[in-house]
Amino acid sequence: MSLNINISITDRTGEVHNIEAPTDMSMNLMEVCKSIELPVDGTCGGMAMCASCQCYILSDSALSKKSDDEEAMLSEAYNVRENSRLGCQIFITSELDGLRVELAPEE
């Protein structure tokens, strides 16, 4: 049985994309963005080493804690805010239903 959750992604032009994302495919937010052809590079392939998938969390969703690698990468990235996360480190689970994010500006 496939369970989809609803995610709202605001792209860099301000357009809001309301999508359904599968929870049974071990995808992360960066991969979801790429699957709907949003301009997210994911240069490092999801290893928390480039910040090209940085986004701002706009909802009170139950996210996992930032890893040391994610913290380190965000400390070196541009346009970082208190609510910044790396999309590659946010795995799509049923707890994230209703997640709202905004893509951070490109460097």
- Using one digit for the tens of pLDDT, what is the confidence trace for 17-60? 999 999 999 999 999 999 999 999 999 999 999 999 999 999 99
What residue segments make up the domains of the chain, in order of their start?
4-103
Q: Is the pLDDT of residue 68 over 70?
A: yes
Mean pLDDT on 58-68: 93
Strand partners, 8: 18, 100
pLDDT (average), residues 82-102:
96
- Tell me how long the chain is: 107
Mean pLDDT over 1-9 rounds to: 87
Helix and strand numbers (H, E) in the chain are 2, 5
Q: 79 forms bridges with which residues in the sheet?
A: none
Per-residue pLDDT at 90 exceeds 70: yes
Q: What pLDDT is attached to residue 1?
A: 52
pLDDT, residue 2, reads 60
| Predicted TM-score of the model (pTM) | 0.94
Q: Would you tell me which CATH number, out of the four given (3.50.50.60, 3.10.20.30, 3.30.413.10, 3.40.190.10), belongs to the domain 4-103? A: 3.10.20.30
